[in-house]
Chains A and B, each alone.
Chain A
Amino acid sequence: MAHFEIKDLTFSYPAAKGKRSLEDVCLSIKKGEYIVLCGKSGSGKTTLLRHLKSVLAPHGKRGGEILFNGVPLEKVSQRDQSAKIGYVMQDPDDQIVTDKVWHELAFGLESLGCDQKTMRARVAEMACYFGIGDWFHRDVANLSGGQKQLLNLASIMAMQPEVLILDEPTSQLDPIAASDFLNTVRKINLELGTTVIITEHRLEDIFPYADRAIVMDGGKVIADDTPRRIGKLLYEQGSDMFSAMPTPVRVFYGAGGEGECPLTVREGRNWLSRVFPEAPGVSSFPAEDLAEEVADPALLLKELWFRYEKDSPDILRGVSAEVATGSLYAIVGGNGAGKSTTLKAICGICKPYRGKVKVFGKPVEKYKSGELFHGCLAMLPQDPKSLFVKKTVREDLEEMTRDKALIEQIAATCQITELLDSHPYDLSGGEQQRAALAKVLLTKPRLLLLDEPTKGIDSFFKETFAAILGQLKEQGITIVMVSHDVEFCARYADRVSMFFDGQILTTDTPRRFFGSNSFYTTAANRMSRHVFQNAVTAGDVVELYKRNREG
């Protein structure tokens, strides 16, 4: 018997004026399956997932039927639904209800009215399984994002659900925490047989392990097959979603490979080894010139030292950097290394106790505060929501300037013209990012700082965002970006710097930078480094592949 049976589900939101968010969705999900649901933002993934749990189902016009274990979902009691259908949402913070880790773990059990003995046993079990023992007594506020999301998962698993539904659970996490989280989900699926339905942007981490991938577009299911065959289907359809596929898949179809499609880096390597048993004729791109001295840097950092409190350890330990005018400069590195703090130091939110920040040749403290942030420097914060203070995007932009024409022009650049009258919180992550960028651009910055701009954005929106950054560069704007997203940096940055232990260790062009790393590099490079020397993006690998095969 199917675990979930979705029959002709149609749904439209009351405000959508008949436009359907879900259209004739038919799905059957077996017990113990691991299912990946993918699609662009706004394709109806979340709407579909929310229908699988009555208390979360959105209000609106709905047709069709959902059966859970053969029983219509609305006939399943709330109690059974709470315990058996677990639902993890996107935001790690807002999902947490109580202030202590142990209390949060027990929350669901308390709601179900379990007795002390059962609760003790289950909480202890969960704490062990998830490795929470060490931070069991901690305040929730002191946890990292990854720990918070793991706690959310654990507190749901404490109720022993049969199905686990996860709606973009890792979009707010850094790559390491994200793959930890996804590994745990996989472990639950493997060891406990819990059915998993997950939506994710980071397909590289889960695609190889999923039993089935379901692709949605415009509220419809456009593909439903094993991950291995999905890539081919999307490639043949010329779907936008193809760009979200894992690197090996994109390289394989992009290069016109034959046979079985590789899903993991390992499979990708094997495939390339088979194609090129001997070293290929063209094995690298021509060497680039060494990074020369920057003549007239837009930004100059010299030996910055900073700590938050008098007795706390130094966060910045002699950060030095030069950023050429009109370039896109990316800083990559681990969590908590001080990357965001560097940006804050540039804006003067943090004051380094030693060292110099020069913006366009002038020390930052010599600027008057009005001068610096008008027509000179601006920062897009990590959470775009922290820039919205008004009821519509338009009002938010009008807060910055009265110049209507300029607003229209910038809105067009950032591709948010249609969104101007929406409430900022109603936009998707990628849209919020662009609206926030528009607001920042209204200060007419010549130096733009971006803090994790691709966090929580799907691959499709990333390309849009990159295109906007390209336009800004053409206008002569210098961009400094801090990011975990090595793929994005490899593709679009002019210079990449490695931040570690409070300082910038190396700076180079993306090709030289990632080409010489063997761990901290892109999937494309890891997959091809035994054949090609400095291919760092999927496009690079495809190009070298083709040159060798055709030439």
Chain B
Amino acid sequence: MRGSDRDAFSKRHPLVNFVFFIGAIGCAAVIQHPVYLLAGAIGAGSYHLLLNGRKGWRMILGMIPMFLFLTAVNPLFNIYGATVLFHVFGRPYTMEALMYGAAIAAVFMVMLLWFGCYNVVLTSDKFTSLFGDLIPALSLLLVMVLRMIPNFLRKAKQLMGARRSIGKGAGEESTTKEKLSDGMTVLSALTDWALEGSVITGDSMRARGYGVAKRTSFQIYRMTCMDWTLLALISLLLAVVIGFAAGGSTAASFTPDLFFAPIAGWDALGLIAYCLFLLIPTALHVKEAIQWHISRSKI
């Protein structure tokens, strides 16, 4: 929620956000070329920090041990590779496998970062509004389910609080069996409660004409000129990256021998396109910040 008020890219139409994240996450998942990975990490990391501020650092720093761990563990299972560093339990621990581990770990981290950004930017209402026009009924269902889950949790908390204040419910000293049976009681009460609530919700829907006509969907987001331009730019850059990837300029293999496609001549264009693509959200933010600064200094 907070992010979507804060940064320029979040304010764009959900379709633009959606296509961007599909592209970014898709590329991150498929391409293992170290240079591309580095570009991905920088792109994802910078946007992540932009969205989350100081909290973002904590997450990124927290990822480093995980990265190291995943890297170090891979050679224990993957014994292929030409350069043996040493032996563990009689199995070779190779440099190539270590590199491969690093690449896999990096893919994993970059995807995590992108998903983190996705969560902040593409809130549930934006996601559902994407499909609102295509399938209004499904989109409504999704909205209702999304609303139900936090409601359910809130009610569970209320119920358990109420039970505790009459000395019922599992405390710290309860046995597992007591906790289990109390949990079942709460769950069944919650189900009853939810059913009761859904009867009212159903009434409220029918009272407001649910099902009397073909549903339309209120679109709160509108595609502006800027959104179309961005969408075109994103599509173009993605097409270039995919084209070069298909042509083999992002190829990388690790075992048994390290091989990375050289980035030289025309192939550099693929990398440039990828970098430009990844920097779109950050660039938008910077651009907006500068514009603000200028327009404010004019006042």
Contacts and interface: CB of A to CB of B under 8 A. Distances in A.
A379 to B, nearest CB: 4
Contacts of B189: 388-390
Given A56-B207, A111-B210, A369-B173, A97 B218 contact: no
B140 interface: yes
A111 B167 contact: no
Nearest to B125: A100
A79 B214 CA distance: 11
Nearest to A347: B165
B200 A95 contact: yes
A389 B186 contact: yes
B203 A103 contact: no
A78 B144 contact: no
B200 A110 contact: no
A292 interface: no
A111 B211 contact: yes
Given A369-B173, A388-B189, A79 B200 contact: no
A267 interface: no
Contacts of B136: 110
Contacts of A93: 151, 197
Interface residues of A, number: 68
A365 interface: no
Nearest to A111: B209
Chain B interface size band reads 35 or more
B29 to A, nearest CB: 30
Interface string B180-216: 0000011011001100111011011111111111111
Contacts of A100: 125
B166 interface: yes
B91 interface: no
Contact of B166 (A77, A98, A152, A439): A439
A106 B164 contact: no
A115 interface: yes
Interface of A: 53, 55-56, 77-79, 82-83, 86-87, 89, 91, 93-100, 102-103, 106-116, 119-120, 123, 139-141, 152, 155-156, 159, 344, 347, 349, 369-370, 372-374, 378-379, 381, 383, 385-390, 399-400, 425, 439-440, 443, 449
6 contacts: A79-B213, A108-B209, A141-B147, A374-B167, A387-B163, A400-B166
Ordered nearest first, which 8 A-B pairs have the shortest CB separation?
A373-B167, A82-B209, A106-B218, A389-B189, A379-B165, A113-B213, A108-B208, A386-B162
Interface of B: 1, 124-125, 136, 140, 143-144, 146-147, 150-151, 154-155, 158-159, 161-168, 171-173, 185-186, 188-189, 192-193, 196-198, 200-201, 203-220
